[in-house]
Structure 1
Amino acid sequence: MSLVRSAALQNFRRCVESLGGDATHYARLADLPAGALDSDDLLVDDRSVAAVLEIAAAKLGRPDLGLRVGAAQELGMLGALAIAIRNSPSVADALECISRYMFVHGSELSLSVVADPDRVPRVVALRYSCGEGREPLPQAVDMTMLFIHRMTAFLVGDHYTPHTVDLPHRPMAPAGAYAEAFGTQVRFARAHADLRVPADLLAQPLVNADGALRRQALRFLSGRPEQPDSWVVDRVRAVLDKSLDMGGTGLPQVARVLSLHPRTLQRKLASQGRTFALILDDVRRDRARHYLTATDMPMAQISGLLGFSDQAVLSRCARRWWGCPPTGVRREAEKRRTLLASGETFRWADAAERGTSVTGRATGRENRGCGISQRIGPACT
């Protein structure tokens, strides 16, 4: 389970009630604890945060709910992290601060600067992720990406206009609603959640930044415990995740990015009980699950993006990962979307008792349908 501060739902109640909905009832359906909608600092299951947005959108018949909530959220919901961001010398410094301390807001959340997925010169992408192997739900992605967009606009003002906004799902609301919210072209069913921006935006100074306030906020944030995972496993995952669809997934290439000798990298991974091959397999499995459940990409294209020699390799891996072929994974995702759209009450504990939540890797035990998770969506805020 991944935890996130309840501030992630800032202004959810106000938005829902303005549309005539019962926010408290929807929170109960999503298994959110009492008070989560009215406090910023409760730690809650991020799957429930994502689920309450989907439930409310379905009940209200408002597929743009994620955009509405994202438009009502403010930078201050990040607490001390917001102070450090706002008082950074430049956009690059602010993003480095977010990358380093985002775990304070949510244990699996990340925002990073990556090479432009379209390989356009002098363009970079601000990439949002809700965590390795976690299937993002559309309303939560819409909400968070609009918050990131508005935060960036707040920091740099008129100097900021994204080239495009890329979302990893089909449009929930009319495409025009997205274009109006983001003020630019929005592309759907992409590999990642990206804001594509001019590279020189990173050097843009932030006006009225107060260095003393920033140092004070960073001292507070530094006093919090670091993430428990070993840095080497996380870094290898991150490098593979960014380079998978561009090649460069071999051990020597990844070691070079991390400024390590390949044998040194192997030893560090072994000390954590992992191997490079296992991590690459995990990253491929997670990316395959996204492509199969959130896009309409043909199987041959998915195979190529995963670095497989042909489609037969994808089929063999899918059976090993989930106990069914890739087409079965895609069918199961459609079933989950249908269940979610019906607004049926969902409880994680009930799902476990029914045996409908299955681990992502085949275990050799009897499968109930595909081995891919049957839950209404792991997470994303």
Structure 2
Amino acid sequence: MALVRSAALQNFRHCVDELGGDAVAYARLAALPLEALDSNDLLVDDRSVAAVLEIASAKLGCPDLGLRVGGTQELGMLGSLAVAIRNSPSVADALDCISRYMFVHGRELSLSVVGDPDRVPHMVALRYSCGEGRHPMPQATDMTMLYIHRMTEFLLGDRYTPSTVDLPHRPLASRDAYAVAFGTPVRFTREHADLRVPASLLALPLANTDGAVRRSALRSLSALPMRSASSAAERVRATLDRSLGMGGTTLAQVARVLSVHPRTLQRQLAAEGETFATIIDEVRRARARHYLTTTDMPLAQVSSLLGFSHQAVLSRRARRWWGCSPTSVRRGVLKEPGLSPQE
């Protein structure tokens, strides 16, 4: 089983509702948690994501459902990774971010730059894969490839000139539907899912970027420990390091990632003298101190990256953690009274 963020199904319910379908019924048939229909941040089995698209497509008689969903998704659904991509200095840097950190969105997902499959000089391919040796489901592939196409188009505007879109399956809808969705020739039953583009595209700069914001997003994405966590507390910390700022920070969500029941995880932590509330408070405190003392990002953005619903929550936590406001921490006035966490 591979886990992906439920953002992969962003606007699925909306598209199904417009077609007169029952998204809840399709989710149940696909063994997809119902919360995934309305949340971007739940971690779910990627097989359920693929299955619900196939089931809905069949039940609705809508062969282009994947294209419909992919055509409505927003770049921001990738969370901190989207922030890093948007603020990369060039296309090559943006793709490097995706290559290095796509695991945040889905463990087995990848987008890489490879040589042109047709061996045309000065061409490359942006290749999507859902995992080595795994066979992608057609509706999910249509959805994801259209999202990647639209993301690149968003970043580059009319400077983006794909030569072809290659898909590994037969056309699910009419070829005209694909041509309209992608705005470029689409080829089917190819070996891989590729966007073929001029190699020169990689060097193109991106406009309106902020280097400080990008560095902060990359630091957040790089927080994943390199060693394997052995204790339950270490595994919880590692999971929170990955998901903080992108949701997935409740006990139930972390337990799902670790493939244990929430009560089992609570017992494991208790046996180690730990609690979930203490751990998430410690992770947030360390991350908050980093953001406040090493970046000048707005406090509202710091609050969002910590997973708080309002900036006022950050202010209350800062006073409990350090006895002063976030602004004072940023100015170098830092106190640490060691008060116990209160979730």
Q: Are the equivalent residues in 2 in contact too, given 1:75–1:82 (CA < 8 A)?
A: yes
Q: Please show how residues 241-252 of structure 1 align to structure 2 within 5 Å.
A: none
Q: How big is the shift at 1:225?
A: 4.1
Q: Where in structure 1 do 4 or more consecutive aligned residues deviate above 2 Å?
A: 224-228
The two structures have a TM-score, normalised by structure 1, of 0.59
| CA 1:80–1:35: 2 relative to 1, 3 Å | same
Letter in 1 for 2:55: I
Give distance in 1, aligned partners of 2:189 and 2:225: 36
2:129 matched residue in structure 1: 129
Q: Please show how residues 194-205 of structure 1 align to structure 2 within 5 Å.
A: 194-205=194-205
| CA 1:137–1:225: 2 relative to 1, 3 Å | farther
Q: Please show how residues 219-230 of structure 1 align to structure 2 within 5 Å.
A: 219-225=219-225
1:69 matched residue in structure 2: 69
Q: Are the equivalent residues in 2 in contact too, given 1:26–1:52 (CA < 8 A)?
A: yes
2:239 matched residue in structure 1: none
1:323-353 deviations in whole A, cap 9, x for unaligned? xxxxxxxxxxxxxxxxxxxxxxxxxxxxxxx
1:150 matched residue in structure 2: 150
Give distance in 2, aligned partners of 1:224 and 1:155: 27
Matched, 1:207 2:202: no
Letter in 2 for 1:51: A
1:378 matched residue in structure 2: none
Give distance in 1, aligned partners of 2:226 and 2:163: 34
Which protein, 1 or 2, shows the higher relative CO under an 8 Å CA cutoff with sep ≥ 6?
Answer: 1
1:10 matched residue in structure 2: 10
Q: How big is the shift at 1:135?
A: 1.1
| CA 1:226–1:105: 2 relative to 1, 3 Å | farther
2:24 matched residue in structure 1: 24
Q: For structure 1, which runs of at least 5 residues remain unmatched after alignment?
A: 229-381
Q: Secondary structure at the match of 2:71?
A: helix
| CA 1:226–1:69: 2 relative to 1, 3 Å | farther
Give distance in 2, aligned partners of 1:193 and 1:216: 32
Q: How big is the shift at 1:16?
A: 0.5
Give distance in 1, aligned partners of 2:60 and 2:225: 40
Q: Are the equivalent residues in 2 in contact too, given 1:167–1:188 (CA < 8 A)?
A: yes
| CA 1:227–1:8: 2 relative to 1, 3 Å | farther
1:221-278 deviations in whole A, cap 9, x for unaligned? 00124597xxxxxxxxxxxxxxxxxxxxxxxxxxxxxxxxxxxxxxxxxxxxxxxxxx
1:134-157 deviations in whole A, cap 9, x for unaligned? 111000000000000000000011
Q: How big is the shift at 1:124?
A: 0.3
Give distance in 2, aligned partners of 1:157 and 1:204: 11
1:57 matched residue in structure 2: 57
Q: Please show how residues 49-198 of structure 1 align to structure 2 within 5 Å.
A: 49-198=49-198
Give distance in 2, aligned partners of 1:59 and 1:216: 44
| CA 1:86–1:226: 2 relative to 1, 3 Å | farther
1:293-323 deviations in whole A, cap 9, x for unaligned? xxxxxxxxxxxxxxxxxxxxxxxxxxxxxxx
Q: Secondary structure at the match of 2:8?
A: helix
Identity of aligned residues (%): 79
**Higher Cα radius of gyration:** 2
Q: Secondary structure at the match of 1:35?
A: helix
Q: Secondary structure at the match of 2:95?
A: helix
Q: Are the equivalent residues in 2 in contact too, given 1:6–1:43 (CA < 8 A)?
A: yes
Q: Secondary structure at the match of 1:120?
A: coil
2:45 matched residue in structure 1: 45
| CA 1:59–1:225: 2 relative to 1, 3 Å | farther
Q: Are the equivalent residues in 2 in contact too, given 1:103–1:227 (CA < 8 A)?
A: no
Give distance in 2, aligned partners of 1:227 and 1:106: 19
The two structures have a TM-score, normalised by structure 2, of 0.66
Give distance in 1, aligned partners of 2:226 and 2:183: 37
Give distance in 1, aligned partners of 2:37 and 2:72: 14
Q: How big is the shift at 1:15?
A: 0.5
Letter in 2 for 1:8: A
